[in-house]
């Protein structure tokens, strides 16, 4: 094509593909049919799992490669991308959604048969949906005091700033500057939309990060406390115990082996690719 977009060849291929689909009586599913599973996911509705199984394992998903495994992998990436976008729209923090997407695509990349890819796809949809279900459950509680259903742009900016700054000291002023609001107004808005003050939220996210580091690394309590910008190791241990109900060392002894070697809890397939935001957190 000499670097040019060959419209006539593209149209020819589209006509041939449409003809073959009609001959085989295997049409693509409709837009509304595809959208339904992602709307379920966005709303935390577990019916998304059944819908995704039905479509991902059907002939109507389309054919992107003549190789069955490669075809499923391409479809996996496409559906994971859509699930990620709808999850963010539903209220899942963007960085958590993107990290989950990366995690599952990495796991898919090492799959070598269609059945394993299909099972992983069901796990991915289930994970996203359950996280959204938890978010909507929390929202329902917050809505009782008049909080809005959707997050504002300043709150999203604040969440992003906090996510990337957990390893350093974070002040309300810093977060407010990132959100382009005054500190007092942002704190009021944030509490209304997230149900906690900014400082409370920062602390909970640091404890979540600490849990992951305890499960998937060999860092000591002091290393983790220092990395996550706690003022001292003793303060880190005290805060962790208050939030989780046990010390960091006790938590690690209880869950370390379970997280690294048990796959049926949906925590991790491989220890070097930990899933973000483990559901073991009690904060």
Look at residue 3 and tell me if it is in a domain.
no
How many domains does one find in the chain? 2
CA distance 130 to 83: 12
Residue 96: which residues within 8 A CB-CB, separation 6 or more? 131, 276, 277
153: left (phi over 0), alpha (psi -120 to 50) or beta: alpha
Longest dimension (CA), the chain: 71
- Which CATH number is 216's domain given? 1.10.10.60
Confidence of residue 21 (pLDDT cuts 50, 70, 90): very low
Question: Taking residues 190-209, what's their average pLDDT?
Answer: 92
pLDDT of residue 93: 84
Structural domain of 206: 152-261
Confidence of residue 281 (pLDDT cuts 50, 70, 90): very low
Claim to verify: residue 99 and residue 203 sit in the same structural domain = no
CA distance 69 to 152: 41
Claim to verify: residue 229 and residue 172 sit in the same structural domain = yes
Domain boundary among 80, 115, 141: 141
Of the candidate ranges 10-14, 118-122, 128-132, 239-243, the one whose mean pLDDT is the lowest = 10-14
Claim to verify: residue 115 and residue 184 sit in the same structural domain = no
- Which CATH number is 28's domain given? 1.20.120
Of the candidate ranges 27-36, 188-197, 201-210, 242-251, the one whose mean pLDDT is the lowest = 27-36
CA distance 99 to 15: 38
Taking 80 as the threshold, does the pLDDT of residue 275 lie above it? no
Selection from 283, 266, 279, 281 nearest residue 103 by Cα: 266
pLDDT of residue 8: 60
SS3 state of residue 260: helix
Question: Taking residues 45-51, what's their average pLDDT?
Answer: 92
Look at residue 174 and tell me if it is in a domain.
yes
pLDDT of residue 30: 63
Q: Is the Cβ–Cβ distance between 36 and 51 less than 8 Å?
A: yes
Q: Is the Cβ–Cβ distance between 86 and 38 less than 8 Å?
A: yes
SS3 state of residue 232: coil
pLDDT of residue 65: 84
Look at residue 211 and tell me if it is in a domain.
yes
Look at residue 106 and tell me if it is in a domain.
yes
Look at residue 271 and tell me if it is in a domain.
no
Taking 50 as the threshold, does the pLDDT of residue 277 lie above it? no
On average, the pLDDT of the chain sits at 80
Burial of residue 245 (CB within 10 Å: 0-12, 13-18, 19+) is: exposed
- Both structure tokens of 72: 């499923």
Instruction: Write the DSSP assignment of 179-212 as a string of letters.
Output: HTS-HHHHHHHHHHHHSS-HHHHHHHHHHHHHHH
Residues in the chain: 283
pLDDT of residue 255: 80
Look at residue 11 and tell me if it is in a domain.
no
Taking 80 as the threshold, does the pLDDT of residue 171 lie above it? yes
pLDDT of residue 15: 46
Taking 60 as the threshold, does the pLDDT of residue 240 lie above it? yes
Look at residue 224 and tell me if it is in a domain.
yes
Claim to verify: residue 62 and residue 106 sit in the same structural domain = yes
Look at residue 283 and tell me if it is in a domain.
no
pTM of the model: 0.57
Q: What is the DSSP letter of 59?
A: G
Unique residue bearing structure tokens 């996550």? 228
Q: pLDDT tens digits for 50-98?
A: 998 888 888 766 677 889 999 999 999 999 999 999 998 888 888 788 8
């Amino acid at each position: 094509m000499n670097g040019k977009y060959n419209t006539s060849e593209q149209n020819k291929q589209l006509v041939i593909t449409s003809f073959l689909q009609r001959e085989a009586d295997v049409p693509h599913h409709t837009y509304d049919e595809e959208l339904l599973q992602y709307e379920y996911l966005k709303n935390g509705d577990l019916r998304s799992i059944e819908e995704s199984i039905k479509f991902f394992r059907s002939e109507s998903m389309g054919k992107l490669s003549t190789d069955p495994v490669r075809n499923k992998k391409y479809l996996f990436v496409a559906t994971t991308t859509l699930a990620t976008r709808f999850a963010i729209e539903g209220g899942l923090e963007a960085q958590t959604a993107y990290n989950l997407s990366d995690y599952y695509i990495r796991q898919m990349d090492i799959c070598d048969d269609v059945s394993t890819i299909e099972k992983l796809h069901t796990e991915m949809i289930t994970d996203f949906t359950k996280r959204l279900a938890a978010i909507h459950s929390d929202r329902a509680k917050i809505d009782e005091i008049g909080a809005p259903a959707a997050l504002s742009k300043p709150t999203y900016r604040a969440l992003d700033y906090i996510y990337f700054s957990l390893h350093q000291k974070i002040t309300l002023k810093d977060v407010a500057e990132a959100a382009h609001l005054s500190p007092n107004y942002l704190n009021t808005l944030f509490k209304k939309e997230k149900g906690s003050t900014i400082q409370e939220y920062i602390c909970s996210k640091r404890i979540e990060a600490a849990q992951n580091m305890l499960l998937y690394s060999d860092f000591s309590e002091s290393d983790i406390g220092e990395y996550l910008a706690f003022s001292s190791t003793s303060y880190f241990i005290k805060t962790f115990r208050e939030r989780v109900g046990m010390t960091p060392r006790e938590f690690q002894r209880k869950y370390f082996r379970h997280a690294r070697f048990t796959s049926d809890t949906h925590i991790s397939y491989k220890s070097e690719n930990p899933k973000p935001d483990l559901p073991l957190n009690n904060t």
